[in-house]
Amino acid sequence: MGNERYHRLASANRIGQYTDLEVDYYGLTPGVVYYISVDNLTGAGYRGTFKLCLSDVVDYNFYEGAVDVTGLINGCSADAAYTTVNASADKNKGAAWDSGPNYNRWFKFTATTNYMKVQLNTGAPEGNMQYPYLALWSTNGTTELASANRIGQYTDLEVDYYGLTPGVEYYISVDNLTGAGYRGTFKLCLSDVVDYNFYEGAVDVTGLINGCSADAAYTTVNASADKNKGAAWDSGPNYNRWFKFTATTNYMKVQLNTGAPEGNMQYPYLALWATNGTTELASANRIGQYTDLEVDYYGLTPGVEYYISVDNLTGAGYRGTFKLCLSDVVDYNFYEGAVDVTGLINGCSADAAYTTVNASADKNKGAAWDSGPNYNRWFKFTATTNYMKVQLNTGAPEGTCNILI
């Protein structure tokens, strides 16, 4: 007996004074004898009686026992329906996770459309799991489709994927940061209605033309990368969201507003696209932490759909809310929207009345200019005599435009 060798399959450490324990293992050989040992912390006063329960029905501690949550599609489980307490590691960690697998649980669903969004909710009353991880997998449970890393102690997570095959089974794994005290309960919600994380689920903002959304109406929180970055962007796509509109004229101006109370997204990007979502019409790079952006384009076809993408600099802490405004009235960024300054003849505009901020290039540069066009603005007047002198004034208090051409 003393010479026999034993191979441990699974074990569990004490958690609390009277806390139940659980171990399980997938991979036994039917007909073979296996052994269980039970112990307690050293100290005669800790010794005592206990109860044992056994089950040979594999549960969601393993991929093979994944809970079928197809019935939750377009709905949610009960609060605290699932738990990582007593769970152990199985298969792989999500690519985005900074640790694991630690105590991952498994779920499965049969795809009803080519899209699935999975939301993991924690924090009272939805659950008490801390620092969660979430991942979506193909049928083999090892090919990842999407994953999300922990953000905060009780911060909800979301993953989604466009490109599923209806009728095929897919898998979800849920885990949390290593540390027995972080294990706990959670809630799951599923949706097969594609949202604005993907081009195909772009939010229709045609109704915002010549108006604005509510403050902080949209967010890049829980978003992921889809299609291309704007040509002007210095990174991305990172967490881009998609919008669409049906052109009402041949012009559109899109403004992205952030900074309280309009939103808390930081270092934003903005782009305007043709119907395929890959042919860019205009884009704007981040300027400052909470600096608004604007893009516009003259040459749209009324009645045709166009797309907008919004993103921000990589870094989970920069993701946040924003506001959108749209206008189909062509402005002085283009020759066709030139501001009529006939009324200024023999006079001047107010100081700093005009700006090249958010402008882009249109038509030609002046023959004397040593660069351009860069950010030119357009004005027009009706001649009152056979002569006109135009003066451009800058420098405080008249303006801040510099290196004039």
Yes or no: say if 400 and 322 are a contact pair by the CB < 8 Å rule.
Answer: no
**Spatial separation of the C-alpha atoms in residues 177 and 132, rounded to whole Å:** 7
199-327 and 59-191 share a CATH fold: yes
**Spatial separation of the C-alpha atoms in residues 57 and 65, rounded to whole Å:** 8
Domain 199-327 has CATH 2.60.120.380: yes
* Diameter of the chain measured on Cα atoms: 117
Q: What is the pLDDT of residues 36-58, one digit of tens each?
A: 999 999 998 999 999 999 999 99
- DSSP output for 222-261: T----S---TT-SS--SS-EEEEEE-SSSEEEEEEE-STT
**Confidence tier at 1 by pLDDT (50, 70, 90):** very low
Per-residue confidence (pLDDT) for residue 316, from 0 to 100: 83
Cβ neighbours, 10 Å, residue 314: 14
> The CATH number of 59-191 is which of 2.60.120.380, 2.40.30.130, 2.40.160.10, 2.30.110.10?
2.60.120.380
Q: What is the pLDDT of residues 134-176, one digit of tens each?
A: 999 999 899 999 999 999 999 999 999 999 999 999 999 999 9
For the entire predicted model, the pTM comes to 0.87
Mean pLDDT of the chain: 95
- For the chain, counts of helices (H) and of strands (E): 0, 22
Indicate the domain borders of the chain. Answer: 59-191, 199-327, 339-405
E-assigned strand segments in 274-348: 280-284, 293-298, 305-312, 321-327, 339-340
Yes or no: say if 101 and 91 are a contact pair by the CB < 8 Å rule.
Answer: yes
Q: What is the pLDDT of residues 52-97, one digit of tens each?
A: 999 999 999 999 999 999 999 999 999 999 999 999 999 999 999 9
Phi-psi region of 344 (alpha: psi -120 to 50; beta: other; left: phi over 0): alpha
Nearest CA-CA partner of 272 in 262, 289, 258, 284: 284
- Bridge partners of 271? 283, 309
